[in-house]
Every structure is written in C-alpha cells, then in structure tokens.
Structure 1
Amino acid sequence: MRLILKYLKRYKKMFLVNVISVFGFALVELGIPTIVAVMIDNGVAAQDGAYIWKMGGVILAISLLGVAGTILLGYCCAWLSTSITRDLRNDIFKKTQGFSHSEYNKFGTSSLITRTNNDAFQIQMFVNILLRTALMTPVMMVGSIFLVLKASLELSVVILCTIPVIIAGVVIVARCSEPISEGQQSSLEWINRISRENLSGIRVIRAFTNDSHEKKRFDEANQSYMSHSKKLFKLMSVTQPAFFLLMNIAGMIIYWISSVMINKGSLQIGELVAFMDYLFHVMFSIMLFCMVFMMYPKAQVSARRITDVLKTEAVIKNDGSGKKLLRPIEEICFDHVDFAYPDGEEAVLKNISFTASKGETVAFIGSTGSGKSTLINLIPRSYDVSAGKITINGEDIRDYELQGLRSAIGFIPQKAMLFMGSIADNIRIGKKDASMEEIIHAAKTAQAYDFIMEKGGFEEQITENATNVSGGQRQRLSIARALVRKPDVYIFDDSFSALDFKTDAAVRRALRKETGEAVVMIVAQRVSSIMDADKILVLDEGSVVGTGTHRELLKSCPIYREIAASQLSEEELAHA
C-alpha cells in the first residue's frame, strides 16, 4: 500500500474527482430505494397517481446522475491506475539502467522483465479495483447500515450477524492466497527465463536435437504456473457462491421475520422493499471489500518485488558526483589490483600491476578463464576492484564522475551487440551527433563499408538479434561504433575472433592510424593479433606470469611460448 500511495500522491486532483464521483454514486444507489419505499407507502397504497409520477421523475433524475457518476468513476479509476503503472515501469527501467553488473547478476534478466511487465500489471489491476471500492465500500456500508438501523432494528440484527462471518472468510482467503500468488509469480519468471533461452538459442537447440528436452523443461514450468493459477482460481471461485448463499440465507430469515412484523402492523411493505435493497447494498459492499482483500495478497507480492528493485542501491553509482575527468588520458595504471566477484569467495585476479601509456598498445593473452576479460572490465567500472587501485592520470578511477569516465572509453565487447534499427543508428550509439562523413570514415576503418553498401547502405535495418549480419560483420560494426566516438582509450575484448586472418590484418592496419594517440588495450586468443603490441601481459589463473614484447615472451615465458607454438608455424617462431 505504501508503494501505491506514494505514486497516487502525484495525482491529487484526479483522485479528488474520483472521491466526488464515489459519493455521487453512493448517494444515488442509496437514495433510490428510500424514494421507492416512500412512493409505495404514500403513493401506491393511497392510489395517488400524481404522487407516483412525481416520485418517478425524481428517480429518473437521480438515475441519470448515477449514470454520470458511474462513467466518471470508471474514467478516473482507469486514468489513475494506468498512470501509476506507467510511472512504475518508467522508474523500474530508470533504476535498472543505473545498476552495475552485480545488481543484474543478483536479480537476473528474466526476473527484471517480469517485475517490469507482469508485476506492474498486477499493481494496475489492484489499483483499479481499489479506487472503485476502497472509498465506495465504506461509504455504501456506513450509509446502508445507518438506513437499515433506521428502517428496523429487529431486521438489522440479521445483517449485523452475517458481517463478522464474511470478514472472517475474507481474512482466511487472503492468508491462503498470498503464498500461492508468490509461487505463481516465481513460476512466471521460470517460464520467461526458459522462453528467452529457447528463442535466443534456437539454433543450438536444433543443432543438438534437444527439442524434446526443452519442451519438457517448458512444460514443467508451465505446469507449475498452471497449478498455482488453478489453486488461486479455485479459492476465488468458492467465495462468490459462498457470498450469495449467505445473502440468500439472510434474505430468507429477513422475509420470515418481516412477514410476522407486517401481520402485526409494525412494518410496511415499502419499508420491506427498501430494507431488502439496503441489505443487497450492504452485502454487495462487503463482497467488493472481499474482492479487494482477495486481490491484495497478489498485489502485495508484486509490490514487494518491485520495491526490492526500487530500493536496491547500485554498488557503482552514476549520480554525477566525482571529479571531472580531464582529457586526454595520458596513463592508466593498475596498482596491485585484486578482484573477486560479489558472489564469489576466491579472487579471480591477484596482484595485477602494469601501466598503459598514451600511444601504447597493451595486449592480454592467456588460457580460457585466466581473467583477461574481467581485468579490462574493471577500467569502465563494470565492477570495482576488491583491493589495490586503478588510476588514470594519477587519480583513482573511483574518484572520477562515472559518465565522464565511460565517455572517454571506446569499449568493444566480446559479444558484439547490435540493436534493431538502421546500421547508421547502431554506429551512432558511439556518438549521437555523428555526421554521415564520420560514420562512413569509421565504417571504412573497421573494414565494414563494403559489406554495408552491398546490403543496401547505412539505412539498411538490423533485425532482432542481428540475424541478418554475420558474426564478423557484427564485430566490425561494433568496432566502427567505438571509432566514431574518437575516445582516449580503446578496449578490444577479443573483438577480432570472428574475423578471418585477412580481414583481421586489414582492420589492425587501419586501426593503427586512428588509435596512434590513444591508449589501446587488446584481449586476444590469437597470437597473430597481438604480435605487434608494445607490451603483452600473459595471464594464468588470475595472475600475471609474463610481461614483455612478443619476442621477449617467446624466450622468457613458457606459457606464452606454448600458446604461440600451437598457433604459429615453426618458421614464424624462428623469425620472431
């Protein structure tokens, strides 16, 4: 409720209109039975036609007022609930954009999508019902009970006895439905995760004929969701018949008591008609109140999950605080750096120290899992070091403003990620205001211009998951995206792995002209990609086991020589 009230405060005027429409609706619903009772007792009983027509006109006018109030109430509820849901989704998205890799790992992609979409929708449904009933139910109940007591104290005892029974039932249903709702949302996350994996990895699944296994996985998740949903539906389906049963029993008792009272002359027929209407409104109001309570556990689960996201503080904050990074960057220094993942126990990087200067190319090589990608991800602060420090121009990178730090870096990730849109738009991600000349120049440097023109030019659309470009083409577009930024630091995280040797050599040759005045860091598996580097660091199990040029390492580092021997010919090794 705190989450809903927080967002509801933003729309005080519309909420006030909602309140007014609720009172108008209640006035009509309770006013008509009272007028009907008077019309029966004073008009029908006395056979006064003029009085009946007069009261009929009043009822018509009140009915029209009720229709207007109902329409206004529906509009206000829909407007407020959808506006609150929009704000929730915007805030969740904005919050997740500021998360570091640690927070993404904590929640998981599928969970964040479910919280943004389904959980926000559950809040929308609850708010819509809440705004319709939260005010209307108390007003209708208080008004109906007052009129019931005024009409007949004897008959009102029946209603007052049924209310505690209904409230007890509501509490039981609410307590039973909360754990079921939580399980339902978890099952939905499971479905989303499996669906996402299957759609992304459909080629792998088909290649290994793993269709039946994936169908079984999805069926298990789907069955779990169905099981929880059935339990909820069964629980909810019991409440409405139980309510009407209780209402009918109360009605039978009232008719029996009222027949005795009418025979005695202590109750008039018009009063009985009005009383039965009041009974319906009391019971109906309680039923609406029950609906709110039955939906509350599910909404509470969703609200708690959303609140968990909104209250999570990013380990690495991008709030504009910190020093402004003065460009150009002259030097990046790793000073006895250790790093362990937040959910890990052992350090994956140990005592890393080296310096990369302007105009220098530093390369990293090592076996899979040696920590190469982890190391270079510390520079744009995807994670922060566990011990030691990384400095730029002599200042700890944690002291710099994050946006300024990252804007000085051209990062080409291991997995080339392209977005739906034109090729030009994908390259402009590196620089929003890049001119067409800059885009073309970057594409030519990345050896991407020829295939772009063959595909139809820079306005050619990239499809979902970039299925209309190959792995090598994706890498070259990613390189062009970094080049158009003209950063002070280039970080290539195994960004040439999908390129053939000829294209790899052409890209590296063109890059030397563009990156001559920048700090260049390259993570590579191929020795041929880093042979010309000014400094090569060999990593093994998170530690630097060799530093030097290609020739120096061939002589001094057994691990590097072993890697080189597996990739280069004996002639190439001899002439190194």
Structure 2
Amino acid sequence: MSADVSPPKRPLTSLWRLRRYLRPYVVAMVWMFIAAAGATGASIVVPLVVQRVVDGPVRHRQPGGLLLLGALALLLGLVEALLIFIRRWTQSTTSLQMEYAIRNDLYAHLQRLPMSFHDRWQSGQLLSRVTTDLGVIRRFLSFGLIFLVVNLGTYIVVVLLLLRLYWPLGLVVALSSVPLFLASRKFTRYYLTISRLQQDQLGDLATLVEESAQGIRVIKSFGRRRHMGGLFHAGARLVHDTGVAKARLLARSWAEFDAVPNVTLAIVLVGGAYAVASGGMTVGGLVAFVSLQLMLIWPIDSLGWIIANGQEAMTAADRIYEVFDVQPSIVDGPDRLVARQAEGRLRFDAVSFTYPGADVPVLRHIDLEVEPGETLAIVGVTGSGKTSLVSLVPRLYDVTSGRITIDGRDVRSLRLDSLREIVGVAFEEPTLFSMSVRENLTLGRPDATDEEIAEALSVAQAEFVYELPWGLDTRVGEQGLSLSGGQRQRLALARAVIGKPRVLVLDDPLSALDVHTEALVEEALARVLRDTTALIVVHRPSTVALADRVALLRDGVIAAVGTHSELMATVPEYRAVLSAEAETSRVDA
C-alpha cells in the first residue's frame, strides 16, 4: 500500500464503528459531560451576575451588595475550575484506555492475517496505522469530540440568552451562524482529501526509514547514502508540501471563522450603545450581552480546529478499518492434535497452489507421502517452488486445491496452535527479534528448560551463545544483525528443534555455514531426524545425505522421487541440479 490510495468513501462510517470501544466507558463519559456542562453553566452564569452587579450595587452605590455578588462570582469561578479538572482528567484517562484497547485489537488482528496480506502491504503503512493514526483518533475522542458537544451546547444556550436579553442583537448573533456553516462545509470537503493524502505519505516515508535502517549495511556497502538520502528528501518534500497546503487551508478557514464573531461584535457594540442610549437596554444588560457574546469567540475560533481534528480522525479510522476489514483467510479448524500423540505421517494429496493475486500456479498436483521418522529432501532449481511447498505445511499459506494431512487429518481442520506445536520450522533467511538469546530460542516453547535449550544449541552447534557478554541473556539487537549470518542461522535451527516437533520443516537451514560447521551440524541433526518426520529444502549436495528419500521438483511438479543413489543413476536432470548446486557451493566457499 502506498500514497496513491484513493480518497476514503466512508470515513464517517469508519469513525462511527469505533463506538464499540466507547461502550465500556459510558458511565465515565456521562460524568465527563455532566462536569463539562456544569463548568460551562458556571461560566455562563458569571455574566448574568455581572449584569446584576452593574444594574444593582454599582448603579445604586451599594458596597454590601457588591461584595456579595463578587463572592458569588468567585464561587462560580472555583466551581468551574474544579469541574474542568474533573472533566479533563476523566476524558484523558478514558481516551488513553480506548487507544490502548484499539491498538491491542489491531495488533492481534495483524497477527491473524495471512502471509499474503503482509506480502502486499508495506510495513511502514501498518506501523503508521498502529501508532500515528491511533494517536489522531485519541486526540479527537479526548478533546475534539468533547469540545464539539460542549461548544455546540454553549453556542445554543448563549444565543438563547442573548435573544432573551435583547432580541434584535440576539438575532444578529444567531444569523452569524449561516456564514460559519457555509465556510465549514467548504473546509470539510477539501480537508478530508488532503488529510488522507498526508497520512498515506507519512506511511510511505515510515516504510522508507524502516527499510533504510534494516538495509544500512547494503546502503553503505554500495556507497548509496546520497541516493537513499535523495529518495528520503523527495518523500519528505511530499509530506512537507502536503503539510503546507494543509496549513494554508487551515489558515484561510480559521481567518474566515475568526472574522465572523469580530464583525458581529462590532455590530453588537454599535447597536448596543444605541439601544442603551434609547432606553432599550440597561448598561448592565449591554455588559452581560457583550460578555456572553465574547464567550462565543472560543467556540467559533475552535470550530476550524475541531473540524480539522475530526476530519483527521475520520481518515485515520478509515485507514485502520482498511486493516480490520481484511478477514483472516487462514483460521482455526475444529480439531486439536496433541503433540505427544502425533505420529507425524505427512501426506500431500493432489496439492496445487497459486499465490493470491497471481494467475500462474506455483505448484501443480503434488502427491507425496513422508512416513513417521522419515526425512524427505526437496531438490530443484531456483524458482521451482521448493519454499512454497514447505510453507504450506505450517499453513503460512493454504493450498489452492487438494489437501495436506498429518496422521490422516487435513491441516486445515486443526487448530493453528495445535498444528504449529507439531510442526517446527527453520527458514533459509533466519529472523531474530530484538530480545535476548533465550527469548529468541524459546519463542515457540516458552516453558523450555535449560537442559532442553542446551540440547538444542548442541544440535545446531550454537554453543557460541555462552561466550556472549551475558550468555543466554544477551540481547541480539534488531534482526540479530549483531551476529554473523551463520550464527543467526544456527540459532534459528536451535529454535526449530527445541520443541522436538513431530514434523520438522527446514528450508535450507545450513546455507550460511562453513563446511566444517555444516558437517558438525549435519552429524548432530541426523540424530534428531531419526525421531522426526522431516521435509528439508536442499541447496547443498552434502545436505542430501541427511535424507532417506529425495523429491525432484521441476516447474511446480514432482519430476522424480527416490533415494539419492537411484536418482543419480536414473535421472540426468537430478544429476545436473546437484552439479550446479555443488558448483555454486564451491564458488560461495
């Protein structure tokens, strides 16, 4: 996803759908609105008290009454301050709780979405939705929405009081809402589009920053710092230009909003002075009228900010529901297969697979059966579908047709946690997280003992972790880049075998190892594979020795199956593939 996303068509609907997160806080919000109404009411009463002071004690020179009314005004001010504190404290805590709940749900939903979704979406776009967009929504729910309700209530009550004090001038104030409505309507139409554009551009920029940070070694190695800087400058310039256009729109609109009450105030002052001179109003009435009208300046001035904040919240909600509306296609089945009871018989039955959005199938009519405790190697040239095939076993993707069974049960009928407890996986490109070695190793087996960790490290020849500054508690850094490629690969292999899975899927897990370490790992791994059904993607000929049988994959179909010696003797293509792999291995070495 990038910044060329079309303007949202349902932003208000998306924002309305967030109401379910408000339900747990209905009581708190009721008290919040009561406090807001009380504070506003106290502030509105003060000008009426001032009217009494001017037309009473001041006019008749009565100091005693002046002190009493002054004390009443002071009390109202204190009540207003207390209620404002209660309202702000309540709205801040409530909005933070809602943001926390939405963020948790969004992250959990991202974890449930299939790999095909993550293949299409930029990580920066997802990151901006989980962080920036939720912050925009929180600000609107904690301030914009409250001020919208409070200011609207204030405007209606004050206008009614102004009509009651002196209806001709009150009517002038009431009619001033017409240009405000027209200006806000025009502002809303343009701001919604530009707000969405900027949020998408920020997502693209976040993607570029993330990719640059992860690929900093490549950038430095190729001397492309200035090139990447130019790309960032161009992306940042887009965000800047959109932000300037947005600020220009805000400035123009706020100027229009601000002009209306000032022009109205000038009319009121002139008309009010004439009314006092002609006996239509008292001096106290004019003071109260002007004081009440001045109370409308903040609600009107804040109208532009509230609308802008609301527009940003609507586009943010729309962007979030673009993710929420994607339904997980790989979901739990009804059955559970207990790991200790599983035999590990793996079968591919007429399996075909096409990546979502693609037209050409990657795999076609795959029929394979791997007996419990047997190791099957998958061999083929690059692009033949080896990684796609093994990715179907733990349901990183689902088959397009056919089925994969473990002990006769379709993997789609199993609960995902049950399936992934049975199936252990190690990929060619190992992924380590910015956490300790121990946490990385026990990611799929949190209850693993120190003895089990030591055994897995021994199998993967990864005892080097004990020499790290803090041993197993050493943090490996983001993506594990503080370690070498071979070290990362060995830790990923140890993580796969630590749970002693009944089915082990290894996507060329030894490709980054030197010849000596590879031989040691293969020797230890051979002992593990005796008790495990294994599917190994092989790129190095030496790894084929771990397998009981070999399947040759060509253009997404099984070309031949047999032992290594059988295929070497009868299948020229197999000999050619291994020869090419052997040559590649020598060049890499």
Shorter-chain TM-score category? over 0.9
Contact 1:74–1:132 (CA<8 Å) still a contact in 2? no
1:75 aligned residue (89, 98, 122): 89
1:382 aligned residue (374, 392, 396): 396
Which residue number corresponds to residue 377 of structure 2? Answer: 363
TM-score, structure 1 normalization: 0.95
Cα offset, 1:492, TM superposition:
0.7
Matched, 1:490 2:504: yes
Q: In the aligned structure 2, how far is the partner of 1:363 from the partner of 1:401?
A: 27
Q: In the aligned structure 2, how far is the partner of 1:513 from the partner of 1:174?
A: 68
Cα offset, 1:192, TM superposition:
0.8
Which residue number corresponds to residue 305 of structure 1? Answer: 319
Corresponding residue SS for 1:547: strand
Which residue number corresponds to residue 187 of structure 1? Answer: 201
Structure 1 residues 282 and 92: alpha-carbon distance in aligned structure 2, compared to 1, 3 A threshold = same
Which residue number corresponds to residue 321 of structure 1? Answer: 334
Q: Deviations over 1:460-516 (max 9, x none)?
A: 221222122111111111111122101101111110000111211111111122221
Cα offset, 1:430, TM superposition:
3.1
Structure 1 residues 10 and 534: alpha-carbon distance in aligned structure 2, compared to 1, 3 A threshold = same
Cα offset, 1:450, TM superposition:
4.1
Contact 1:443–1:477 (CA<8 Å) still a contact in 2? yes
Q: In the aligned structure 2, how far is the partner of 1:244 from the partner of 1:293?
A: 14
Q: In the aligned structure 2, how far is the partner of 1:523 from the partner of 1:383?
A: 17
Q: In the aligned structure 1, how far is the partner of 2:100 from the partner of 2:582?
A: 58
Matched, 1:250 2:264: yes
Contact 1:29–1:66 (CA<8 Å) still a contact in 2? yes
Cα offset, 1:130, TM superposition:
2.8
Which residue number corresponds to residue 231 of structure 1? Answer: 245
Structure 1 residues 330 and 197: alpha-carbon distance in aligned structure 2, compared to 1, 3 A threshold = closer
Matched, 1:551 2:545: no
2:129 aligned residue (101, 115, 123): 115
Structure 2: which 5+ residue stretches go unaligned? 1-14, 584-589
Contact 1:182–1:301 (CA<8 Å) still a contact in 2? yes
Q: In the aligned structure 2, how far is the partner of 1:190 from the partner of 1:451?
A: 37
Q: Deviations over 1:372-415 (max 9, x none)?
A: 00000000011111111111112211111221011101111121
Q: Deviations over 1:3-27 (max 9, x none)?
A: 3422111112211220111111111
The number of residue pairs the alignment matches comes to 568
Corresponding residue SS for 1:134: helix
Matched, 1:457 2:471: yes
Q: In the aligned structure 2, how far is the partner of 1:432 from the partner of 1:38?
A: 73
Matched, 1:296 2:286: no
Matched, 1:433 2:447: yes
Q: Which amino acid aligns with 1:190?
A: D
Deviates more, 1:545-554 or 1:118-127: 545-554
Cα offset, 1:459, TM superposition:
2.4
Matched, 1:88 2:82: no
Q: In the aligned structure 1, how far is the partner of 2:48 from the partner of 2:344?
A: 86
Structure 1 residues 346 and 211: alpha-carbon distance in aligned structure 2, compared to 1, 3 A threshold = same
Which residue number corresponds to residue 386 of structure 2? Answer: 372
Q: In the aligned structure 2, how far is the partner of 1:41 from the partner of 1:305?
A: 57
2:361 aligned residue (341, 347, 360): 347
Contact 2:352–2:363 (CA<8 Å) still a contact in 1? yes
Q: In the aligned structure 1, how far is the partner of 2:253 from the partner of 2:469?
A: 62
Q: Percent identity?
A: 27
Q: In the aligned structure 1, how far is the partner of 2:444 from the partner of 2:414?
A: 21
Q: In the aligned structure 2, how far is the partner of 1:251 from the partner of 1:532?
A: 89
Structure 1 residues 452 and 474: alpha-carbon distance in aligned structure 2, compared to 1, 3 A threshold = farther
2:494 aligned residue (477, 480, 491): 480
Contact 1:325–1:400 (CA<8 Å) still a contact in 2? no
Q: In the aligned structure 2, how far is the partner of 1:343 from the partner of 1:325?
A: 35
Contact 1:102–1:315 (CA<8 Å) still a contact in 2? no
Q: In the aligned structure 2, how far is the partner of 1:436 from the partner of 1:566?
A: 42
Corresponding residue SS for 1:537: strand
Which residue number corresponds to residue 70 of structure 2? Answer: 56
TM-score, structure 2 normalization: 0.93
Structure 1: which 5+ residue stretches go unaligned? 570-576
Structure 1 residues 59 and 365: alpha-carbon distance in aligned structure 2, compared to 1, 3 A threshold = same
1:538 aligned residue (522, 547, 552): 552
Which residue number corresponds to residue 586 of structure 2? Answer: none
Moved over 4 A (4+): none
Cα offset, 1:276, TM superposition:
1.0
Q: Deviations over 1:66-112 (max 9, x none)?
A: 11111112112211221111111111011111111122234332221
1:204 aligned residue (179, 199, 218): 218
Structure 1 residues 325 and 401: alpha-carbon distance in aligned structure 2, compared to 1, 3 A threshold = farther
1:507 aligned residue (491, 498, 521): 521
Structure 1 residues 196 and 61: alpha-carbon distance in aligned structure 2, compared to 1, 3 A threshold = same
Which residue number corresponds to residue 222 of structure 1? Answer: 236
Deviates more, 1:545-554 or 1:140-149: 545-554
Which residue number corresponds to residue 9 of structure 2? Answer: none
Cα offset, 1:57, TM superposition:
0.5
Corresponding residue SS for 1:40: helix
Deviates more, 1:501-510 or 1:337-346: 501-510
Cα offset, 1:323, TM superposition:
4.4
Corresponding residue SS for 2:558: strand
Q: In the aligned structure 2, how far is the partner of 1:420 from the partner of 1:285?
A: 48
Contact 1:390–1:397 (CA<8 Å) still a contact in 2? yes
Contact 1:103–1:314 (CA<8 Å) still a contact in 2? no
Structure 1 residues 454 and 23: alpha-carbon distance in aligned structure 2, compared to 1, 3 A threshold = closer
Contact 2:183–2:256 (CA<8 Å) still a contact in 1? no
Matched, 1:159 2:176: no
Contact 1:493–1:522 (CA<8 Å) still a contact in 2? yes
Which residue number corresponds to residue 37 of structure 2? Answer: 23
Q: In the aligned structure 2, how far is the partner of 1:289 from the partner of 1:568?
A: 71
Which residue number corresponds to residue 286 of structure 1? Answer: 300
Which residue number corresponds to residue 574 of structure 1? Answer: none
Q: Which amino acid aligns with 2:335?
A: G
Which residue number corresponds to residue 241 of structure 1? Answer: 255
Contact 1:361–1:521 (CA<8 Å) still a contact in 2? yes
Structure 1 residues 490 and 264: alpha-carbon distance in aligned structure 2, compared to 1, 3 A threshold = same
Which residue number corresponds to residue 113 of structure 2? Answer: 99
Q: In the aligned structure 2, how far is the partner of 1:109 from the partner of 1:150?
A: 59
How do residues 126-141 of structure 1 correspond to structure 2 at under 5 angstroms?
126-141=140-155
Deviates more, 1:542-551 or 1:383-392: 542-551
Q: Which amino acid aligns with 1:555?
A: A
Corresponding residue SS for 2:296: helix
Deviates more, 1:79-88 or 1:59-68: 79-88
Q: Deviations over 1:208-247 (max 9, x none)?
A: 1112221111111111111111111111122333233222
Cα offset, 1:458, TM superposition:
2.0
Cα offset, 1:60, TM superposition:
0.5
After superposition, the CA RMSD in angstroms is 1.7
Corresponding residue SS for 1:458: helix
Q: In the aligned structure 2, how far is the partner of 1:321 from the partner of 1:90?
A: 25
Which residue number corresponds to residue 347 of structure 2? Answer: 333
Q: Deviations over 1:288-314 (max 9, x none)?
A: 344322222211110011122223210
Cα offset, 1:138, TM superposition:
2.6
1:471 aligned residue (477, 481, 485): 485
Contact 1:532–1:550 (CA<8 Å) still a contact in 2? no
How do residues 413-428 of structure 1 correspond to structure 2 at under 5 angstroms?
413-428=427-442
Matched, 1:412 2:426: yes
Contact 1:91–1:310 (CA<8 Å) still a contact in 2? no
Deviates more, 1:89-98 or 1:240-249: 240-249
Q: In the aligned structure 2, how far is the partner of 1:172 from the partner of 1:345?
A: 45
Q: In the aligned structure 1, how far is the partner of 2:97 from the partner of 2:112?
A: 23
